[in-house]
Structure 1
Amino acid sequence: MAGLSPRIYCTLALFLSSWTAVYAEITVYSQRPLGQAANTASGAAATNTAAAAYDTTVLNPPPLPDPLPATQFGVQLQNSAANVQGLSIPMSGAFWGFSIEMSVANQVLGRNATFIQVPFLNLMSNLAERAGYVRVRVGGNTQDFATLSDDLPDGKLLQKENVNNTNPTQTPGIRFTSQLLYMMSNISSLTNVRWYLGIPLNETANLRLQIAEVGEPILGDNLLGWQIGNEPDLYLRHLHRDPGYGPFNYFGEFGDVKNALGSSAAVNKLIGPSVGSGDWSPEQVWDTNFIPQYQANLGALSVEKYPDDNCFALYGTGHKVVYQDVFANYLTHDGPKSFIQPFLNSTAIAQTFNKPFIMFETNTASCGGFPGVSNSFGSALWALDYGFQMAYSNFSSALLHVGGQNVFYNPFTPPPTSQSTFHEWTIGPVYYSTLIIAEAFGKSNQSRIIDLNTNNGDAHTPGYAIYDGDKPSKVALFNFMTDPSGANDYTANINIGGSQLGQPNGTPAQVKVKYLAAPSVAEKFNITWGGQTFGEHFASDGRIKGSMQIQTVTCDQTANTCAIKVPAPGFALVFLTDDPATSSDATPATFSTTALTKTVNTALADPTEVATSNGHSGKTFEKFRSTSKGSVPNGSVSKRTTGTDVFAVGAAVALALVSL
Structure 2
Amino acid sequence: MAKLTITSAIASFLLTITAINGEVTIYKQKPLVEPTLTETADAASYTGAAAYDPTVLNPPALPDPPPAMAFSIGLQNGGTMGASILQPSSFFGFSVEMSVSNQILGKNSSYIQVPFLNLMSNLVKRAGEVRVRVGGNTQETAKLVDTLPDGKMLAKDIENASNPTQTPPLDYTRDLFTIMSAISDLVNVRWFLGIPFFDTNPFDLSLSQASRAILGDKLLGLQAGNEPDLYSRHGHRNSDYAPQNYYDEVGSLIAAMGDDARNILIGPNLANAEWQPQQIWDTGFVDSYSDSLAFLSFERYPNDNCFAQFGIGHFNDPQETFPEYLTHKSGQELASQYLEATAYAQTKGKAVIMFETNTASCGGFPGISDSFGAALWGLDYALQLAHSNFSGALFHIGGQNVYYNPFTPPPTNQSAFRQWTVGPIYYSALAMTEALGRGNNAQVLDLNANDGNEFTPAYAIFEDGEPTRVALFNYLTDPSGGSTYTASIAVAGLTSVKVKYLSADSVSQKGGFRWAGQTFGNHFESDGRLMGDEDVREVQCSDGVCPIEVPAPSFALVLLKGDEVVSEPAATFATTAVTGGGNTATVDEKVLETSNGHSGWDGIGMRSTSRGSVDAAVGRVDVTIGFGLTVVSMICAALVLI
Compute the TM-score of the two structures, normalised by the length of structure 1.
Answer: 0.86
Specify whether residues 226 and 119 from structure 1 end up closer, same or farther in structure 2 by C-alpha distance, changes over 3 A only.
same
1:242 and 2:238 correspond: yes
Distance 1:369 1:647 in 2: 41
1:414 matched to which residue of 2?
409
Distance 1:533 1:484 in 2: 21
Q: How does 1:189-228 map to 2 (within 5 A)?
A: 189-228=185-224
AA aligned opposite 1:324: Q
AA aligned opposite 1:591: F
Specify whether residues 6 and 482 from structure 1 end up closer, same or farther in structure 2 by C-alpha distance, changes over 3 A only.
farther
Specify whether residues 306 and 106 from structure 1 end up closer, same or farther in structure 2 by C-alpha distance, changes over 3 A only.
same
Structure 1: which 5+ residue stretches go unaligned? 18-25, 497-505, 617-635
1:588 and 2:584 correspond: no
C-alpha RMSD of the superposition:
2.8
* 1:109-163, Cα deviation, whole Å (9 max, x unpaired): 0121121110000000000010010000000000001011111111110001235
1:8 and 2:4 correspond: no
1:378 matched to which residue of 2?
373
1:287 and 2:287 correspond: no
1:59 and 2:57 correspond: yes
1:276 matched to which residue of 2?
271
AA aligned opposite 2:567: S
Specify whether residues 144 and 474 from structure 1 end up closer, same or farther in structure 2 by C-alpha distance, changes over 3 A only.
same
Equivalent residue pairs, number: 599
* Equivalent position SS for 1:268: coil
* Equivalent position SS for 2:336: helix
1:253 and 2:255 correspond: no
Cα contact 1:357–1:397 (8 A) shared by 2: yes
Distance 1:615 1:462 in 2: 42
Distance 2:488 2:454 in 1: 18
Q: How does 1:232-381 map to 2 (within 5 A)?
A: 232-264=228-260, 266-381=261-376
* Equivalent position SS for 2:385: helix
AA aligned opposite 1:229: G
2:601 matched to which residue of 1?
none
Distance 1:541 1:462 in 2: 33
* Equivalent position SS for 1:279: coil
Cα contact 2:160–2:169 (8 A) shared by 1: no
1:657 matched to which residue of 2?
633
Distance 2:318 2:127 in 1: 34
Q: How does 1:108-127 map to 2 (within 5 A)?
A: 108-127=104-123
* 1:438-479, Cα deviation, whole Å (9 max, x unpaired): 111122111001001110000000000000112110000000
1:488 matched to which residue of 2?
483
Distance 1:227 1:642 in 2: 44
Distance 2:510 2:316 in 1: 21
- By how many angstroms is 1:402 displaced? 0.4
Specify whether residues 647 and 121 from structure 1 end up closer, same or farther in structure 2 by C-alpha distance, changes over 3 A only.
farther
Specify whether residues 142 and 130 from structure 1 end up closer, same or farther in structure 2 by C-alpha distance, changes over 3 A only.
same
- By how many angstroms is 1:579 displaced? 3.4
Distance 2:50 2:7 in 1: 38
* Equivalent position SS for 2:221: strand
1:71 and 2:98 correspond: no
Cα contact 2:102–2:154 (8 A) shared by 1: yes
Distance 1:602 1:274 in 2: 47
Cα contact 1:310–1:368 (8 A) shared by 2: yes
Distance 1:272 1:579 in 2: 40
Distance 2:29 2:511 in 1: 26
Distance 2:226 2:450 in 1: 40
1:570 and 2:554 correspond: yes
* Equivalent position SS for 1:137: strand
- By how many angstroms is 1:346 displaced? 0.2
1:629 matched to which residue of 2?
none
Cα contact 1:358–1:397 (8 A) shared by 2: yes
Cα contact 2:326–2:475 (8 A) shared by 1: yes
* Equivalent position SS for 1:60: coil
Specify whether residues 611 and 222 from structure 1 end up closer, same or farther in structure 2 by C-alpha distance, changes over 3 A only.
closer
Distance 2:157 2:275 in 1: 30
Cα contact 1:590–1:645 (8 A) shared by 2: no
Distance 1:288 1:171 in 2: 30
Distance 1:150 1:389 in 2: 44
Distance 2:190 2:70 in 1: 43
1:531 matched to which residue of 2?
517
Cα contact 1:422–1:652 (8 A) shared by 2: no
* Equivalent position SS for 1:111: strand
- By how many angstroms is 1:425 displaced? 0.3
2:48 matched to which residue of 1?
50
- By how many angstroms is 1:11 displaced? 2.6
- By how many angstroms is 1:49 displaced? 7.8
Percent sequence identity is: 51
- By how many angstroms is 1:583 displaced? 4.3
AA aligned opposite 1:189: D
AA aligned opposite 1:55: D
Q: How does 1:362-511 map to 2 (within 5 A)?
A: 362-496=357-491, 506-511=492-497
* Equivalent position SS for 1:588: coil
* Equivalent position SS for 1:511: strand
Specify whether residues 122 and 7 from structure 1 end up closer, same or farther in structure 2 by C-alpha distance, changes over 3 A only.
farther
* 1:551-599, Cα deviation, whole Å (9 max, x unpaired): 0000011xx310000000001000001334x2432x1101257xx9x7x
AA aligned opposite 1:28: I
Distance 1:372 1:215 in 2: 38
- By how many angstroms is 1:526 displaced? 2.7
1:142 and 2:134 correspond: no
Specify whether residues 604 and 233 from structure 1 end up closer, same or farther in structure 2 by C-alpha distance, changes over 3 A only.
farther
Specify whether residues 80 and 15 from structure 1 end up closer, same or farther in structure 2 by C-alpha distance, changes over 3 A only.
same
2:579 matched to which residue of 1?
602
1:628 matched to which residue of 2?
none
Compute the TM-score of the two structures, normalised by the length of structure 2.
Answer: 0.88
- By how many angstroms is 1:550 displaced? 0.5
AA aligned opposite 2:181: S
Distance 1:426 1:230 in 2: 28
- By how many angstroms is 1:80 displaced? 1.3
- By how many angstroms is 1:177 displaced? 0.3
Structure 2: which 5+ residue stretches go unaligned? 1-5, 40-45, 593-609, 638-642
